[in-house]
A and B are shown apart, each in its own frame.
Chain A
Amino acid sequence: MAALMAPHTAAADDSRLDTILKRDKVIVAVSSTARPNGFVDDDGKLTGFEIEFARQIAKSILGSPDKIEFVTTTVDGRFPAVLSGRVDFGISTATIYPDRVVRLAFTRPYVDSTTLVVVRKDSPVKDIAGLNSPDVSFGSTNSAAMVDRAKRYAPLAKAMFFDTDTAAFLALRSGRVTAVQADSAMANYNAAQSNGDFVVLPGQLGNLNGNAIFMKPGDFTLWLCLDTIVGEYVSGSRYDEYQVLYQKWFGRAAPAPRPNLTH
Protein backbone atom coordinates (compact mmCIF):
# COMPACT_ATOMS: atom_id res chain seq x y z
CA MET A 1 0.00 0.00 0.00
CA ALA A 2 2.83 2.35 0.91
CA ALA A 3 4.44 1.70 -2.44
CA LEU A 4 1.20 2.47 -4.22
CA MET A 5 0.74 5.70 -2.31
CA ALA A 6 4.29 6.93 -2.74
CA PRO A 7 3.95 8.38 -6.24
CA HIS A 8 0.81 10.26 -5.23
CA THR A 9 2.52 11.72 -2.19
CA ALA A 10 5.43 12.84 -4.31
CA ALA A 11 3.09 14.37 -6.86
CA ALA A 12 1.25 16.24 -4.11
CA ASP A 13 4.53 17.56 -2.73
CA ASP A 14 5.53 18.81 -6.16
CA SER A 15 2.22 20.46 -6.94
CA ARG A 16 2.22 23.82 -8.61
CA LEU A 17 -0.48 24.75 -6.12
CA ASP A 18 2.25 25.03 -3.47
CA THR A 19 4.16 27.37 -5.76
CA ILE A 20 1.03 29.48 -6.23
CA LEU A 21 0.46 29.69 -2.49
CA LYS A 22 4.09 30.63 -1.81
CA ARG A 23 4.08 33.15 -4.66
CA ASP A 24 0.74 34.55 -3.45
CA LYS A 25 -0.34 35.09 -7.04
CA VAL A 26 -1.76 32.98 -9.84
CA ILE A 27 -0.41 33.38 -13.35
CA VAL A 28 -3.01 32.67 -16.01
CA ALA A 29 -2.96 32.50 -19.82
CA VAL A 30 -5.90 34.37 -21.32
CA SER A 31 -7.00 35.74 -24.64
CA SER A 32 -7.17 39.45 -25.40
CA THR A 33 -8.94 39.18 -28.76
CA ALA A 34 -11.95 37.02 -27.92
CA ARG A 35 -14.92 39.22 -27.05
CA PRO A 36 -16.69 38.88 -24.68
CA ASN A 37 -14.50 36.26 -23.02
CA GLY A 38 -11.20 38.10 -22.92
CA PHE A 39 -10.51 41.42 -24.58
CA VAL A 40 -9.12 44.90 -24.05
CA ASP A 41 -11.86 47.47 -23.44
CA ASP A 42 -11.96 51.13 -24.54
CA ASP A 43 -9.97 52.12 -21.45
CA GLY A 44 -7.21 49.68 -22.35
CA LYS A 45 -8.18 47.32 -19.55
CA LEU A 46 -8.21 43.55 -19.98
CA THR A 47 -11.71 42.36 -19.24
CA GLY A 48 -14.37 39.82 -20.15
CA PHE A 49 -16.11 36.75 -18.76
CA GLU A 50 -13.00 34.60 -18.59
CA ILE A 51 -10.92 37.40 -17.07
CA GLU A 52 -13.44 37.89 -14.28
CA PHE A 53 -13.89 34.16 -13.81
CA ALA A 54 -10.11 33.80 -13.47
CA ARG A 55 -10.22 36.54 -10.81
CA GLN A 56 -12.83 34.49 -8.94
CA ILE A 57 -10.44 31.54 -9.00
CA ALA A 58 -7.67 33.74 -7.59
CA LYS A 59 -10.10 34.85 -4.90
CA SER A 60 -10.95 31.24 -4.08
CA ILE A 61 -7.31 30.16 -3.83
CA LEU A 62 -5.63 33.26 -2.40
CA GLY A 63 -8.46 35.33 -0.95
CA SER A 64 -8.27 38.22 -3.39
CA PRO A 65 -9.35 38.61 -7.04
CA ASP A 66 -6.36 40.91 -7.55
CA LYS A 67 -3.72 38.31 -6.73
CA ILE A 68 -3.46 37.36 -10.36
CA GLU A 69 -1.19 38.01 -13.32
CA PHE A 70 -2.59 37.67 -16.81
CA VAL A 71 -0.44 36.49 -19.70
CA THR A 72 -2.22 37.20 -22.97
CA THR A 73 -1.66 34.68 -25.73
CA THR A 74 -2.96 34.00 -29.20
CA VAL A 75 -4.91 30.84 -29.99
CA ASP A 76 -1.73 29.01 -30.98
CA GLY A 77 0.22 30.27 -27.97
CA ARG A 78 -2.19 29.22 -25.24
CA PHE A 79 -1.23 25.53 -24.95
CA PRO A 80 2.54 26.10 -25.15
CA ALA A 81 2.11 28.69 -22.38
CA VAL A 82 0.88 26.06 -19.92
CA LEU A 83 3.04 23.19 -21.17
CA SER A 84 6.20 25.28 -20.87
CA GLY A 85 5.31 26.23 -17.30
CA ARG A 86 5.15 29.96 -18.01
CA VAL A 87 1.67 30.08 -16.52
CA ASP A 88 -0.15 28.02 -13.89
CA PHE A 89 -3.15 27.34 -16.08
CA GLY A 90 -5.09 28.78 -19.00
CA ILE A 91 -8.63 30.00 -19.47
CA SER A 92 -8.93 30.99 -23.09
CA THR A 93 -12.03 29.68 -24.90
CA ALA A 94 -10.43 26.24 -25.09
CA THR A 95 -12.85 23.50 -26.02
CA ILE A 96 -12.39 20.09 -24.51
CA TYR A 97 -11.36 18.04 -27.52
CA PRO A 98 -10.45 14.35 -27.67
CA ASP A 99 -7.14 14.88 -29.48
CA ARG A 100 -6.06 17.45 -26.90
CA VAL A 101 -6.54 15.44 -23.74
CA VAL A 102 -3.52 13.27 -24.50
CA ARG A 103 -1.26 16.20 -23.61
CA LEU A 104 -3.46 18.59 -21.63
CA ALA A 105 -5.54 18.29 -18.50
CA PHE A 106 -8.96 19.95 -18.57
CA THR A 107 -11.24 20.76 -15.65
CA ARG A 108 -14.97 20.30 -16.05
CA PRO A 109 -16.43 23.00 -18.37
CA TYR A 110 -17.01 26.46 -16.91
CA VAL A 111 -19.31 27.30 -19.80
CA ASP A 112 -21.23 25.42 -22.46
CA SER A 113 -20.24 26.47 -25.90
CA THR A 114 -22.14 26.19 -29.11
CA THR A 115 -20.93 27.30 -32.48
CA LEU A 116 -22.97 29.82 -34.41
CA VAL A 117 -22.62 31.19 -37.91
CA VAL A 118 -22.59 34.92 -38.64
CA VAL A 119 -23.24 36.42 -42.08
CA ARG A 120 -23.73 39.92 -43.46
CA LYS A 121 -27.36 41.00 -43.38
CA ASP A 122 -27.54 41.08 -47.19
CA SER A 123 -25.98 37.62 -47.52
CA PRO A 124 -27.63 35.10 -49.87
CA VAL A 125 -26.94 32.45 -47.22
CA LYS A 126 -30.02 32.29 -45.03
CA ASP A 127 -29.50 29.05 -43.12
CA ILE A 128 -26.77 26.62 -42.13
CA ALA A 129 -27.62 24.24 -44.98
CA GLY A 130 -26.89 27.09 -47.41
CA LEU A 131 -23.23 27.15 -46.33
CA ASN A 132 -22.42 24.01 -48.31
CA SER A 133 -21.89 25.65 -51.67
CA PRO A 134 -18.81 26.40 -53.78
CA ASP A 135 -19.97 30.02 -53.89
CA VAL A 136 -19.51 30.35 -50.15
CA SER A 137 -16.21 31.24 -48.48
CA PHE A 138 -16.43 30.11 -44.88
CA GLY A 139 -14.12 31.71 -42.31
CA SER A 140 -13.11 31.01 -38.72
CA THR A 141 -10.06 30.81 -36.51
CA ASN A 142 -7.42 28.23 -37.32
CA SER A 143 -8.41 25.76 -34.61
CA ALA A 144 -8.97 22.03 -34.83
CA ALA A 145 -12.65 22.10 -33.87
CA MET A 146 -13.43 24.89 -36.36
CA VAL A 147 -11.56 23.16 -39.19
CA ASP A 148 -13.35 19.88 -38.52
CA ARG A 149 -16.75 21.59 -38.47
CA ALA A 150 -16.05 23.41 -41.73
CA LYS A 151 -15.09 20.14 -43.43
CA ARG A 152 -18.07 18.31 -41.99
CA TYR A 153 -20.89 20.80 -42.51
CA ALA A 154 -19.71 22.78 -45.52
CA PRO A 155 -17.34 20.57 -47.52
CA LEU A 156 -18.13 22.36 -50.78
CA ALA A 157 -17.43 25.82 -49.40
CA LYS A 158 -14.03 27.47 -49.62
CA ALA A 159 -12.70 27.30 -46.07
CA MET A 160 -10.47 30.09 -44.75
CA PHE A 161 -8.85 29.89 -41.33
CA PHE A 162 -7.46 33.04 -39.72
CA ASP A 163 -5.15 33.52 -36.76
CA THR A 164 -7.71 35.33 -34.63
CA ASP A 165 -11.47 35.82 -34.43
CA THR A 166 -10.83 39.51 -34.95
CA ALA A 167 -9.25 38.79 -38.34
CA ALA A 168 -12.09 36.40 -39.26
CA PHE A 169 -14.74 39.04 -38.51
CA LEU A 170 -12.65 41.66 -40.33
CA ALA A 171 -12.75 39.31 -43.32
CA LEU A 172 -16.54 39.14 -43.02
CA ARG A 173 -16.83 42.92 -42.77
CA SER A 174 -14.59 43.49 -45.79
CA GLY A 175 -16.45 40.91 -47.87
CA ARG A 176 -13.54 38.47 -47.90
CA VAL A 177 -15.69 35.67 -46.55
CA THR A 178 -19.40 34.96 -46.84
CA ALA A 179 -19.83 33.55 -43.36
CA VAL A 180 -17.90 33.12 -40.12
CA GLN A 181 -18.33 30.37 -37.55
CA ALA A 182 -17.51 31.33 -34.00
CA ASP A 183 -18.09 30.44 -30.40
CA SER A 184 -21.69 31.42 -29.53
CA ALA A 185 -20.67 34.19 -27.13
CA MET A 186 -18.36 35.74 -29.67
CA ALA A 187 -20.82 35.33 -32.55
CA ASN A 188 -23.63 37.01 -30.61
CA TYR A 189 -21.34 39.76 -29.37
CA ASN A 190 -20.03 40.59 -32.85
CA ALA A 191 -23.54 40.57 -34.31
CA ALA A 192 -24.77 42.86 -31.52
CA GLN A 193 -21.87 45.28 -32.03
CA SER A 194 -22.20 45.45 -35.82
CA ASN A 195 -25.00 48.05 -35.96
CA GLY A 196 -27.15 45.54 -37.80
CA ASP A 197 -24.55 44.70 -40.46
CA PHE A 198 -24.20 41.10 -39.25
CA VAL A 199 -26.86 38.54 -38.43
CA VAL A 200 -26.59 35.15 -36.75
CA LEU A 201 -28.03 32.28 -38.76
CA PRO A 202 -30.73 30.24 -37.02
CA GLY A 203 -29.56 27.00 -35.42
CA GLN A 204 -26.16 25.90 -34.26
CA LEU A 205 -23.29 24.31 -36.14
CA GLY A 206 -22.39 20.92 -34.73
CA ASN A 207 -22.66 19.69 -31.19
CA LEU A 208 -22.62 21.31 -27.80
CA ASN A 209 -19.04 21.76 -26.56
CA GLY A 210 -17.59 22.56 -23.20
CA ASN A 211 -15.00 25.28 -22.67
CA ALA A 212 -12.69 24.42 -19.81
CA ILE A 213 -9.63 25.52 -17.89
CA PHE A 214 -6.55 23.72 -19.17
CA MET A 215 -3.26 22.94 -17.49
CA LYS A 216 -0.16 20.82 -17.75
CA PRO A 217 -1.11 17.21 -16.97
CA GLY A 218 0.35 15.26 -14.06
CA ASP A 219 -0.48 17.65 -11.25
CA PHE A 220 -3.52 16.08 -9.61
CA THR A 221 -3.54 18.45 -6.64
CA LEU A 222 -3.78 21.60 -8.73
CA TRP A 223 -6.23 19.95 -11.13
CA LEU A 224 -8.52 18.88 -8.26
CA CYS A 225 -8.38 22.37 -6.77
CA LEU A 226 -9.32 24.06 -10.06
CA ASP A 227 -11.94 21.47 -11.00
CA THR A 228 -13.60 21.77 -7.60
CA ILE A 229 -13.67 25.57 -7.80
CA VAL A 230 -15.23 25.43 -11.28
CA GLY A 231 -17.79 22.92 -10.01
CA GLU A 232 -18.70 25.15 -7.09
CA TYR A 233 -19.32 28.07 -9.44
CA VAL A 234 -21.27 26.32 -12.18
CA SER A 235 -23.32 24.06 -9.94
CA GLY A 236 -22.60 24.58 -6.26
CA SER A 237 -22.10 27.08 -3.47
CA ARG A 238 -20.95 29.96 -5.70
CA TYR A 239 -23.62 29.49 -8.35
CA ASP A 240 -25.25 32.84 -7.56
CA GLU A 241 -21.96 34.66 -8.30
CA TYR A 242 -21.61 32.65 -11.51
CA GLN A 243 -25.14 33.67 -12.51
CA VAL A 244 -24.31 37.36 -12.11
CA LEU A 245 -21.11 36.99 -14.13
CA TYR A 246 -22.85 34.99 -16.85
CA GLN A 247 -25.73 37.46 -17.16
CA LYS A 248 -23.32 40.40 -17.29
CA TRP A 249 -21.23 39.08 -20.17
CA PHE A 250 -23.60 36.90 -22.15
CA GLY A 251 -26.79 38.88 -21.60
CA ARG A 252 -28.86 35.88 -20.60
CA ALA A 253 -29.41 33.62 -17.62
CA ALA A 254 -26.82 30.98 -16.83
CA PRO A 255 -27.80 27.32 -17.37
CA ALA A 256 -29.39 25.70 -14.34
CA PRO A 257 -26.97 24.02 -11.91
CA ARG A 258 -26.00 20.52 -12.92
CA PRO A 259 -24.49 18.96 -9.78
CA ASN A 260 -23.50 15.80 -11.57
CA LEU A 261 -21.85 17.53 -14.48
CA THR A 262 -18.55 15.92 -15.26
CA HIS A 263 -16.40 15.73 -18.32
Chain B
Amino acid sequence: MDLRLILRILPDLLEGLKLTVALAACSLLGAAIGGVAVMLARRSSLTLVRRMAIGFIEIMRNTPIMVQIFVIYFGLPSPGLYPDAFPSAVAALVLQNSAYIGEIYRAGLASVNRTQMEAALALGMLPRTALWAIVVPQALRRVMPALGNQAVIIIKDSSIASTIAVAELTHTGKLLLDRSAAPYETFLAVGLLYLALSLTTLFAMRLLARLLPVRA
Protein backbone atom coordinates (compact mmCIF):
# COMPACT_ATOMS: atom_id res chain seq x y z
CA MET B 1 0.00 0.00 0.00
CA ASP B 2 1.57 3.26 -1.16
CA LEU B 3 0.28 5.97 1.15
CA ARG B 4 2.37 8.61 -0.60
CA LEU B 5 0.51 7.86 -3.81
CA ILE B 6 -2.79 8.43 -2.00
CA LEU B 7 -1.55 11.80 -0.78
CA ARG B 8 -0.39 12.65 -4.30
CA ILE B 9 -3.74 11.88 -5.93
CA LEU B 10 -5.86 13.36 -3.15
CA PRO B 11 -6.09 16.90 -4.63
CA ASP B 12 -7.44 15.47 -7.91
CA LEU B 13 -9.90 13.28 -6.03
CA LEU B 14 -11.12 16.26 -4.01
CA GLU B 15 -11.84 18.07 -7.29
CA GLY B 16 -13.94 15.07 -8.31
CA LEU B 17 -15.59 15.05 -4.90
CA LYS B 18 -16.73 18.67 -5.38
CA LEU B 19 -18.62 17.62 -8.50
CA THR B 20 -20.07 14.59 -6.70
CA VAL B 21 -21.34 16.86 -3.91
CA ALA B 22 -22.87 19.25 -6.46
CA LEU B 23 -24.44 16.38 -8.36
CA ALA B 24 -25.86 14.76 -5.23
CA ALA B 25 -27.09 18.05 -3.72
CA CYS B 26 -28.91 19.13 -6.91
CA SER B 27 -30.38 15.66 -7.33
CA LEU B 28 -31.51 15.36 -3.71
CA LEU B 29 -33.13 18.79 -3.78
CA GLY B 30 -34.82 18.05 -7.09
CA ALA B 31 -36.00 14.62 -5.95
CA ALA B 32 -37.30 16.00 -2.63
CA ILE B 33 -39.45 18.49 -4.57
CA GLY B 34 -40.33 16.01 -7.32
CA GLY B 35 -41.30 13.49 -4.66
CA VAL B 36 -43.99 15.90 -3.40
CA ALA B 37 -45.47 16.08 -6.91
CA VAL B 38 -45.38 12.30 -7.25
CA MET B 39 -46.99 11.84 -3.83
CA LEU B 40 -49.75 14.35 -4.60
CA ALA B 41 -50.41 12.71 -7.96
CA ARG B 42 -50.40 9.27 -6.35
CA ARG B 43 -53.01 10.44 -3.79
CA SER B 44 -55.08 12.35 -6.32
CA SER B 45 -58.81 11.76 -6.45
CA LEU B 46 -58.57 11.80 -10.27
CA THR B 47 -58.14 8.22 -11.50
CA LEU B 48 -56.15 9.22 -14.60
CA VAL B 49 -53.63 11.26 -12.59
CA ARG B 50 -53.31 8.47 -10.02
CA ARG B 51 -52.71 5.86 -12.71
CA MET B 52 -50.16 8.05 -14.46
CA ALA B 53 -48.34 8.45 -11.15
CA ILE B 54 -48.35 4.68 -10.61
CA GLY B 55 -47.03 4.17 -14.15
CA PHE B 56 -44.25 6.71 -13.60
CA ILE B 57 -43.26 5.14 -10.29
CA GLU B 58 -43.14 1.63 -11.72
CA ILE B 59 -41.14 2.66 -14.79
CA MET B 60 -38.63 4.58 -12.72
CA ARG B 61 -38.27 1.91 -10.04
CA ASN B 62 -37.97 -0.99 -12.47
CA THR B 63 -35.47 0.31 -14.99
CA PRO B 64 -31.75 0.74 -14.30
CA ILE B 65 -30.53 4.27 -13.80
CA MET B 66 -27.83 3.60 -16.39
CA VAL B 67 -30.56 3.10 -19.00
CA GLN B 68 -32.33 6.28 -17.90
CA ILE B 69 -29.16 8.34 -18.05
CA PHE B 70 -28.30 7.01 -21.54
CA VAL B 71 -31.83 7.69 -22.80
CA ILE B 72 -31.62 11.29 -21.59
CA TYR B 73 -28.07 11.98 -22.72
CA PHE B 74 -27.83 10.01 -25.96
CA GLY B 75 -31.54 9.76 -26.79
CA LEU B 76 -32.68 13.37 -26.50
CA PRO B 77 -30.43 14.59 -29.34
CA SER B 78 -32.75 12.68 -31.72
CA PRO B 79 -35.56 15.23 -31.27
CA GLY B 80 -32.96 18.03 -31.25
CA LEU B 81 -32.41 18.48 -27.50
CA TYR B 82 -28.83 18.62 -26.25
CA PRO B 83 -28.73 18.92 -22.45
CA ASP B 84 -25.17 18.89 -21.11
CA ALA B 85 -23.82 15.88 -19.26
CA PHE B 86 -24.24 17.34 -15.75
CA PRO B 87 -27.94 18.32 -16.09
CA SER B 88 -28.58 15.01 -17.86
CA ALA B 89 -27.18 13.13 -14.88
CA VAL B 90 -29.13 15.30 -12.44
CA ALA B 91 -32.34 14.74 -14.44
CA ALA B 92 -31.90 10.96 -14.36
CA LEU B 93 -31.20 10.96 -10.62
CA VAL B 94 -34.12 13.30 -9.92
CA LEU B 95 -36.57 11.26 -11.99
CA GLN B 96 -35.70 7.95 -10.41
CA ASN B 97 -35.47 9.23 -6.86
CA SER B 98 -38.66 11.29 -7.13
CA ALA B 99 -40.46 7.99 -7.58
CA TYR B 100 -38.89 6.51 -4.45
CA ILE B 101 -39.21 9.66 -2.36
CA GLY B 102 -42.84 10.15 -3.45
CA GLU B 103 -43.60 6.72 -2.05
CA ILE B 104 -41.68 7.52 1.13
CA TYR B 105 -43.80 10.67 1.63
CA ARG B 106 -46.98 8.73 0.96
CA ALA B 107 -46.02 6.04 3.48
CA GLY B 108 -45.14 8.75 6.00
CA LEU B 109 -48.55 10.39 5.67
CA ALA B 110 -50.30 7.04 5.88
CA SER B 111 -48.41 6.21 9.07
CA VAL B 112 -49.93 9.13 10.99
CA ASN B 113 -52.95 7.87 12.86
CA ARG B 114 -56.24 9.04 11.33
CA THR B 115 -57.45 10.14 14.78
CA GLN B 116 -54.93 12.99 14.67
CA MET B 117 -56.72 14.52 11.70
CA GLU B 118 -60.13 13.79 13.24
CA ALA B 119 -59.14 15.46 16.51
CA ALA B 120 -57.86 18.54 14.67
CA LEU B 121 -61.06 18.82 12.69
CA ALA B 122 -63.10 18.36 15.88
CA LEU B 123 -61.23 21.32 17.36
CA GLY B 124 -62.40 23.43 14.46
CA MET B 125 -59.34 23.43 12.22
CA LEU B 126 -59.81 23.61 8.47
CA PRO B 127 -58.79 20.36 6.70
CA ARG B 128 -55.83 22.06 4.96
CA THR B 129 -54.62 23.64 8.21
CA ALA B 130 -54.98 20.31 10.02
CA LEU B 131 -52.99 18.57 7.29
CA TRP B 132 -50.08 21.03 7.30
CA ALA B 133 -50.05 21.85 11.02
CA ILE B 134 -50.77 18.43 12.51
CA VAL B 135 -50.25 15.57 10.06
CA VAL B 136 -47.36 16.72 7.82
CA PRO B 137 -44.89 17.61 10.63
CA GLN B 138 -45.37 14.20 12.22
CA ALA B 139 -45.05 12.44 8.86
CA LEU B 140 -41.93 14.43 8.01
CA ARG B 141 -40.27 13.43 11.23
CA ARG B 142 -41.05 9.78 10.52
CA VAL B 143 -39.72 9.82 6.96
CA MET B 144 -36.40 11.46 7.83
CA PRO B 145 -34.50 8.16 8.33
CA ALA B 146 -35.80 6.86 4.98
CA LEU B 147 -34.91 10.18 3.30
CA GLY B 148 -31.42 9.89 4.79
CA ASN B 149 -31.06 6.44 3.23
CA GLN B 150 -32.28 7.80 -0.10
CA ALA B 151 -29.76 10.62 0.09
CA VAL B 152 -26.97 8.08 0.53
CA ILE B 153 -28.31 6.09 -2.43
CA ILE B 154 -28.23 9.26 -4.53
CA ILE B 155 -24.62 9.93 -3.50
CA LYS B 156 -23.57 6.43 -4.50
CA ASP B 157 -25.67 6.37 -7.69
CA SER B 158 -24.15 9.68 -8.77
CA SER B 159 -21.09 7.64 -9.80
CA ILE B 160 -23.10 6.49 -12.82
CA ALA B 161 -22.62 10.00 -14.24
CA SER B 162 -19.05 8.95 -15.04
CA THR B 163 -20.44 6.96 -17.99
CA ILE B 164 -21.44 10.18 -19.73
CA ALA B 165 -18.18 11.97 -19.03
CA VAL B 166 -19.09 13.90 -15.87
CA ALA B 167 -15.74 14.20 -14.07
CA GLU B 168 -17.10 13.33 -10.63
CA LEU B 169 -15.30 11.28 -7.98
CA THR B 170 -15.53 7.83 -9.62
CA HIS B 171 -14.63 9.26 -13.03
CA THR B 172 -11.57 10.92 -11.54
CA GLY B 173 -10.66 7.73 -9.67
CA LYS B 174 -10.87 5.68 -12.87
CA LEU B 175 -8.58 8.09 -14.68
CA LEU B 176 -6.06 8.10 -11.83
CA LEU B 177 -6.17 4.31 -11.78
CA ASP B 178 -5.55 4.15 -15.51
CA ARG B 179 -2.59 6.47 -15.15
CA SER B 180 -0.97 4.86 -12.12
CA ALA B 181 -2.14 1.22 -12.41
CA ALA B 182 -2.66 1.36 -8.63
CA PRO B 183 -6.21 0.08 -8.03
CA TYR B 184 -5.96 -0.53 -4.29
CA GLU B 185 -4.66 2.89 -3.33
CA THR B 186 -6.93 4.72 -5.76
CA PHE B 187 -10.17 3.03 -4.86
CA LEU B 188 -9.38 2.92 -1.15
CA ALA B 189 -9.14 6.71 -1.30
CA VAL B 190 -12.27 6.96 -3.47
CA GLY B 191 -14.18 4.65 -1.11
CA LEU B 192 -13.15 6.60 1.97
CA LEU B 193 -14.28 9.87 0.39
CA TYR B 194 -17.68 8.37 -0.48
CA LEU B 195 -17.94 6.99 3.07
CA ALA B 196 -17.11 10.38 4.57
CA LEU B 197 -19.67 12.11 2.35
CA SER B 198 -22.38 9.56 3.09
CA LEU B 199 -21.81 9.61 6.85
CA THR B 200 -21.79 13.41 6.86
CA THR B 201 -25.08 13.43 4.96
CA LEU B 202 -26.68 10.91 7.34
CA PHE B 203 -25.48 12.95 10.32
CA ALA B 204 -26.94 16.14 8.78
CA MET B 205 -30.26 14.41 8.12
CA ARG B 206 -30.44 13.18 11.73
CA LEU B 207 -29.65 16.66 12.97
CA LEU B 208 -32.37 18.06 10.73
CA ALA B 209 -34.83 15.50 12.14
CA ARG B 210 -33.99 16.58 15.69
CA LEU B 211 -34.56 20.20 14.78
CA LEU B 212 -38.10 19.44 13.66
CA PRO B 213 -40.43 20.77 16.37
CA VAL B 214 -42.77 17.80 16.49
CA ARG B 215 -41.99 14.40 18.01
CA ALA B 216 -43.34 11.49 15.98
**Residues of chain A whose beta carbon lies under 8 Å from any beta carbon of chain B:** 75-76, 79-80, 83-84, 97, 99-100, 102-104, 139, 142-144, 147, 160-163, 167, 170-171, 174-176
CB distance from B181 to the nearest CB of A (A): 4
The answer to whether B183 has its CB under 8 Å from any CB of chain A is: yes
A79-B181, A80-B183, A176-B73 in contact; A144/B175 too (CB < 8 A)?
yes
Q: Which residue of B lies closest to A144 (CB)?
A: B179
The answer to whether B195 has its CB under 8 Å from any CB of chain A is: no
CB distance from B192 to the nearest CB of A (A): 18
Once the chains bind, are A76 and B74 in contact (CB under 8 Å)?
no
Q: Which residue of B lies closest to A81 (CB)?
A: B183
CB distance from B20 to the nearest CB of A (A): 16
Once the chains bind, are B180 and A142 in contact (CB under 8 Å)?
no
By a CB distance below 8 angstroms, the chain B residues around A139 are 165
The answer to whether B116 has its CB under 8 Å from any CB of chain A is: no
Q: Which of B74, B174, B184 contacts A170 (CB 8 A)?
A: B74
In the assembly, what is the distance between CA of A134 and CA of B163, in Å?
23
**Residues of chain B whose beta carbon lies under 8 Å from any beta carbon of chain A:** 73-74, 77-78, 82, 85, 162-165, 167, 171, 174-175, 177-184
Once the chains bind, are B181 and A83 in contact (CB under 8 Å)?
yes
In the assembly, what is the distance between CA of A97 and CA of B78, in Å?
38
Q: Which residue of A lies closest to B171 (CB)?
A: A142
Once the chains bind, are A143 and B165 in contact (CB under 8 Å)?
no
Once the chains bind, are B77 and A175 in contact (CB under 8 Å)?
yes
In the assembly, what is the distance between CA of A136 and CA of B157, in Å?
29
CB distance from B158 to the nearest CB of A (A): 15
Once the chains bind, are B165 and A102 in contact (CB under 8 Å)?
no
Once the chains bind, are A162 and B180 in contact (CB under 8 Å)?
no
Q: Which of A83, A103, A160 contacts B165 (CB 8 A)?
A: A160
In the assembly, what is the distance between CA of A31 and CA of B21, in Å?
32
By a CB distance below 8 angstroms, the chain A residues around B162 are 142, 163
In the assembly, what is the distance between CA of A143 and CA of B77, in Å?
26
Once the chains bind, are B183 and A79 in contact (CB under 8 Å)?
yes
Apart from A84-B183, A100-B181, A176-B82, 12 more pairs, CB < 8 Å = A76-B178, A79-B178, A79-B183, A80-B183, A83-B181, A83-B184, A100-B179, A139-B165, A142-B174, A147-B175, A161-B175, A170-B74
Q: Which residue of A lies closest to B78 (CB)?
A: A174
Q: Which of A100, A143, A144, A174 contacts B74 (CB 8 A)?
A: A174
Once the chains bind, are B178 and A75 in contact (CB under 8 Å)?
yes
In the assembly, what is the distance between CA of A99 and CA of B164, in Å?
26
By a CB distance below 8 angstroms, the chain B residues around A170 are 74
Once the chains bind, are B85 and A160 in contact (CB under 8 Å)?
yes
Once the chains bind, are A167 and B175 in contact (CB under 8 Å)?
no
In the assembly, what is the distance between CA of A139 and CA of B73, in Å?
14
Which of B82, B165, B174, B179 has the most chain A CB within a 10 Å cutoff? B165
In the assembly, what is the distance between CA of A147 and CA of B12, in Å?
14
Once the chains bind, are B163 and A143 in contact (CB under 8 Å)?
no
Once the chains bind, are B180 and A100 in contact (CB under 8 Å)?
yes
Which of B164, B167, B178 has the most chain A CB within a 10 Å cutoff? B178
By a CB distance below 8 angstroms, the chain A residues around B164 are 162, 167
